[in-house]
Amino acid sequence: KAGVTQTPRYLIKTRGQQVTLSCSPISGHRSVSWYQQTPGQGLQFLFEYFSETQRNKGNFPGRFSGRQFSNSRSEMNVSTLELGDSALYLCASSLDGLSGANVLTFGAGSRLTVL
């Protein structure tokens, strides 16, 4: 079965621009989580969506937002880009994310470079 698909894989933006990243979860998975990965901070949780509702949010500024559609696909948006937003953005899906035991299946990530 198809894995988690993230698009685009690579993108370059300039400061002040905005960017939208897309994530298609594994079929049947209803929970989608987003993580930011940087060399200095490691993997940091951005937010998690389930049935089109944001259930949890990490400690990121309001410039970072997301949404989930009725087919469980998710997008995240970063507005007014800063140099420090350069990172690998990882999306992960799981069945429902409720028990803590559901394994996260990760996509290959979207590598964002801000110039």
Partner 1 sequence: AQSVTQLDSQVPVFEEAPVELRCNYSSSVSVYLFWYVQYPNQGLQLLLKYLSGSTLVKGINGFEAEFNKSQTSFHLRKPSVHISDTAEYFCAVSVPNSGNTPLVFGKGTRLSVIA
Selected binder of partner 1 within 87, 90, 112, 114 (CB under 8 A): 90
Among 19, 66, 109, 114, the residue binding partner 1 under the rule CB under 8 A is 109
Q: For residue 95, how far is the Cα from the chain centroid?
A: 16
Burial of 22 (0-12, 13-18, 19+ CB in 10 A): middle
Residue among 16, 98, 113, 115 that touches partner 1 (CB under 8 A) = 98
Minimum distance of partner 1 from residue 46's CB (angstroms): 9
Window contacting partner 1 (CB under 8 A); options: 13-21, 65-73, 75-83, 105-113? 105-113
DSSP conformation class of 22: E
What residues numbered 18-77 form the site for partner 1, per CB under 8 A?
33, 35, 42-43, 45, 48, 50, 55-56, 58
Q: Which stretch binds partner 1 (CB under 8 A): 13-21, 60-68, 76-84, 106-114?
A: 106-114
Euclidean distance between CA atoms 96 and 93, whole angstroms: 9
Q: Rounded to whole angstroms, how far apart are CA atoms 7 and 4?
A: 10
- DSSP category for residue 25: P
Residues at the contact surface with partner 1, assessed by CB under 8 A:
4, 6, 33, 35, 42-43, 45, 48, 50, 55-56, 58, 90, 92, 97-101, 103-109
